[in-house]
């Protein structure tokens, strides 16, 4: 049997755009076998929760791989939403997450799942938005520039030569995650950086995998406000690493 994968989709006020991507994802992943998908609703208001419940219930009627959603009582941040579901999963070989906006297509998710199943033990896969032949990356110019500055900050402060720590598709062996889970403290948008650092510090290998990416409108990241918070979190991660 192929290695099992538990894929989490963190959501905060995403009912307006997750529907088509969720349907495409379930249809694309069904033939792969051994994959489960779980939506985590990260403490949105009651009306949004009802909309999300209706949407997911309709999709679950057609897609056995889509599990009961996890509704968090309070907003924990993207990392908190991902970790809440990952920590509940006790049997999957791989833990994964993908952003709800569909910027990373279902076909790319499937490709990385197939690659993970061929990957040596204790090796995580982080998708990376690298412009290169054979891959299409469509990003807002400002986001691209800030992303490059942020990646440089991560590389310099943490001595990790990563190109793209923030891409919204990652796959981690469950046993590797369970080894580092108690020390993960960052739950906001910089959680990817702490996850990366903790995996490397534990001896886990991390490979960046170039993917195609088509940015979609309606993102929740505020460029100036959240960039400052993320930079602050990187500094705190550095201090904790010693």
Q: Residue 118: which residues within 8 A CB-CB, separation 6 or more?
A: none
Asked whether 74 and 83 are in contact (CB, 8 A), the reply is: no
Model confidence at 13: pLDDT above 80: yes
Higher pLDDT, residue 62 or 231 = 62
Model confidence at 220: pLDDT above 60: no
Give the pLDDT confidence of 35-79 residue by residue, as tens digits.
999 999 999 999 999 999 999 999 999 999 999 999 999 999 999
How high is the mean pLDDT of the chain? Answer: 92
Q: How far is Cα 39 from Cα 59, in angstroms, rounded to an integer? A: 11
pLDDT band at 142 (very low <50, low <70, confident <90, very high): confident
Two structure tokens written together for 92: 């999957």
Model confidence at 216: pLDDT above 70: yes
Give helix 191-201 / helix 223-241 axis angle, nearest 10°.
20
Model confidence at 185: pLDDT above 90: yes
Higher pLDDT, residue 30 or 151 = 30
Model confidence at 227: pLDDT above 80: no
Query: Residue 39's pLDDT is what?
Result: 99
Query: Residue 32's pLDDT is what?
Result: 98
What is the average per-residue pLDDT within 191-199?
A: 97
Model confidence at 5: pLDDT above 80: yes
Give the pLDDT confidence of 67-107 residue by residue, as tens digits.
999 999 999 999 999 999 999 999 999 999 999 999 999 99
How much is the pTM?
0.93
Helices (H), the chain: 18-29, 46-60, 78-88, 106-116, 141-158, 174-180, 191-201, 223-241
Query: Residue 103's pLDDT is what?
Result: 94
Two structure tokens written together for 48: 């949004």
Q: How far is Cα 99 from Cα 205, in angstroms, rounded to an integer? A: 23
Q: Which of 126-130, 149-153, 221-225 has the lowest mean pLDDT?
A: 221-225
Our count of domains for the chain comes to 1
Q: Which of 70-74, 132-136, 153-157, 168-172 has the lowest mean pLDDT?
A: 132-136
Domain of 202: which CATH number? 3.90.550.10
Provide the percentage of residues in the chain whose pLDDT is more than 70. Answer: 95
What is the average per-residue pLDDT within 145-149?
A: 77
- Closest by CA position to 38, among listed 81, 85, 76, 84: 85
Range of the domain at 72: 5-241
pLDDT band at 225 (very low <50, low <70, confident <90, very high): low
Q: How far is Cα 186 from Cα 53, in angstroms, rounded to an integer? A: 28
């Amino acid at each position: 049997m192929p290695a099992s994968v538990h894929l989490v989709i963190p959501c905060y006020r995403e009912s307006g755009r997750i529907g088509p991507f969720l349907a495409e994802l379930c249809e694309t992943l069904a033939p792969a076998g051994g994959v489960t998908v779980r939506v985590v609703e990260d403490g949105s208001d009651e009306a949004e929760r009802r909309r999300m419940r209706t949407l997911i219930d309709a999709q679950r009627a057609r897609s056995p791989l889509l599990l009961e959603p996890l509704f968090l009582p309070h907003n924990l941040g993207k990392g908190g939403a991902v970790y809440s579901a990952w920590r509940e999963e006790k049997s999957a070989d791989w833990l994964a997450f993908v952003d709800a906006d569909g910027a990373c297509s279902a076909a790319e998710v499937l490709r990385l799942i197939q690659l993970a199943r061929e990957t040596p033990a204790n090796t995580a896969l982080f998708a990376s938005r690298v412009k290169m032949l054979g891959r299409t990356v469509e990003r807002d110019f400002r986001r691209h520039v800030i992303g490059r500055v942020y990646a440089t900050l991560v590389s310099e402060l943490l001595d990790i030569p990563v190109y793209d720590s923030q891409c919204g598709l990652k796959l981690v062996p469950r046993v590797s995650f369970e080894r580092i889970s108690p020390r993960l403290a960052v739950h906001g948008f910089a959680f990817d950086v702490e996850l990366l650092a903790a995996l490397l510090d534990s001896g886990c290998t991390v490979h960046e995998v170039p993917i195609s990416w088509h940015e979609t409108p309606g993102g929740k990241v505020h460029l100036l406000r959240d960039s400052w918070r993320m930079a602050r979190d990187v500094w705190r991660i550095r201090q904790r690493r010693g």
